[in-house]
Amino acid sequence: MSGAQRLDWVSRPVSSLQGDVVVPGDKSVSHRSMMLSAIAEGTSHIRGFLEGEDTRATAAVLSQLGVSIEAPSAGERIVHGVGLHGLRGSDKSLDCGNAGTGMRLLTGLLAGQSFDSTLIGDESLSKRPMRRVTDPLAKMGAQIDSQDGLPPLRVRGGRALHGIRYELPVASAQVKSALLLAGLYAEGSTEVIEPHPTRDYTERMLAAFGWPIVFSPGHAKLEGGHRLCATDVVVPADFSSAAFFLVAASIVPGSTLRLPAVGLNPRRTGLLEALQLMGADIHVENRSESGGEAVGDLVVRYAPLHGIELPEALVPDMIDEFPALFIAAAVAKGRTVIRGAAELRVKESDRIATMAAGMRALGVRIEETPDGAIIDGGSIGTGTVESHGDHRIAMSFAAAGLVAEGEVTIRDCANVATSFPGFLELANGCGFALSTTG
């Protein structure tokens, strides 16, 4: 990131957090609703769409491929679907920005098209591994060229795809979704088996758009050759965005926050269970369902936390929330042991190494392991941490600063806009003391 773009934060201790916090729409659902609406027949209306850089990048790519998308107001999109075979090729590269979800899912979608496409990303995305998607797609008949497994990805068109039965070596909703999207264009059935169940947003949304699909935790199967019918989608508030406020209110004495209409997909809420195991006071009110997704209001109050040995069964259901959990563990009484989370090493940054380095800089006792960490809770000191441009790292250390012994300076926070536009204003609105520098 160039000096002109660099943005640093300073987070300071506060007395309590109070109020209602309306977090942005779910990023995962926003990506998928845009893609399925684009290749559906008819016009779909999306409400609650995340106005983040990642999701806007996906929308821009689809526009480049010939899809007409209107944005009548913030968080609203009207998508005029072109049907399964209506996308048009582009002579220019398709820029996914920082969106790993966007690139991986689009790779599956584009594998079944008649035209060639080149997917590119920013500096961070260009370092993220893509073989876990391109290798199984190749088994389906796709031809995808990469830079030794890294972007840019050149997706060759005109390949006849065939369904496969694929057992994922590592549980990943993104890889599963890419294969299912390719399976829409494949002859025969595409079946994905996971070692642990992951988020089933794609499966639920395919069903909502009328595609016959059979799925259960850890398993999904569909046949090619059907069609998607336009539907209206209401995107729930993003649980991953809510995570930072759940942790913050849990660790700042005297706090009470309400987060309305948060998505509570059971494959997404591992952090909720983990925090409750640590003694957090979090309750769900006003449960309902929207577009096949469970939603509810989360009410969180301060409670003393204690360390736990995190059950490995929760790991796939909270993979994006680990940076926030690390902060909760740093404050909790006793030791927290995290295992089975090697996936964290190939996110926007190596999140285990980045969190460990930052926590050590603040005086927290943490031992890094190949697939997790051992954290001895206590107090958080003062100092400067590097986010390495990782939005979730930055927001997690913003929460840490609330209970630190002094100021916590967080370097390189501009990428927060990829997933959580308006974070600074929303956080300060409920009591954070967060300012920008640089």
Q: Is 27 annotated as a binding residue?
A: yes
Q: Is 128 annotated as a binding residue?
A: yes
Q: At what angle do helices 201-208 and 173-183 cross, to 10 degrees?
A: 30
Q: Is 92 annotated as a binding residue?
A: no
Residue 160 has a CB neighbour count (10 Å cut-off) of: 11
**Helix, strand, coil in percent for the chain, rounding step 5:** 35, 30, 35
Q: Is 64 annotated as a binding residue?
A: no
Q: Is 117 annotated as a binding residue?
A: no
Nearest to 380 by CA among 354, 409, 403, 398: 403
Asked if omega into 421 is within 30° of 0 (cis), the reply is no
In contact, 292 and 338? CB cutoff 8 Å: no
In contact, 232 and 48? CB cutoff 8 Å: no
Residue 269 makes CB contacts below 8 A (sequence gap 6+) with 239, 317, 318
Buried residues in 337-360 as b, exposed as e (16+ CB within 10 A): ebbbbebbebbbbbbbebbbbbbe
Give the pair of three-digit tokens for residue 368: 């890094």
In contact, 181 and 109? CB cutoff 8 Å: yes
Q: At what angle do helices 391-400 and 322-331 cross, to 10 degrees?
A: 20
Q: Is 287 annotated as a binding residue?
A: no
Angle at 41 between CA 35 and CA 46, to 5 degrees: 50
Q: Is 20 a catalytic residue?
A: no
Q: Is 320 annotated as a binding residue?
A: yes
Q: Is 347 annotated as a binding residue?
A: yes
Give CA–CA dist 92/117, Å, rounded. Answer: 8
Give the pair of three-digit tokens for residue 64: 């480049």
In contact, 338 and 323? CB cutoff 8 Å: no
In contact, 267 and 200? CB cutoff 8 Å: yes
Give the pair of three-digit tokens for residue 114: 């008649």
In contact, 235 and 48? CB cutoff 8 Å: yes
Q: Is 172 annotated as a binding residue?
A: yes
Q: Is 365 annotated as a binding residue?
A: no
Nearest to 133 by CA among 101, 160, 165, 157: 101
Selecting among 54, 95, 320, 412, the annotated active-site residue is 320
| Residue 228: alpha-carbon gap to chain centroid | 25
Q: Is 419 annotated as a binding residue?
A: no
- Catalytic residues, by residue number, are 320
State the binding site: 27-28, 32, 100, 128, 172, 174, 320, 347, 351, 392
State the binding site for phosphoenolpyruvate: 27, 100, 128, 174, 351, 392
State the binding site for 3-phosphoshikimate: 27-28, 32, 172, 174, 320, 347
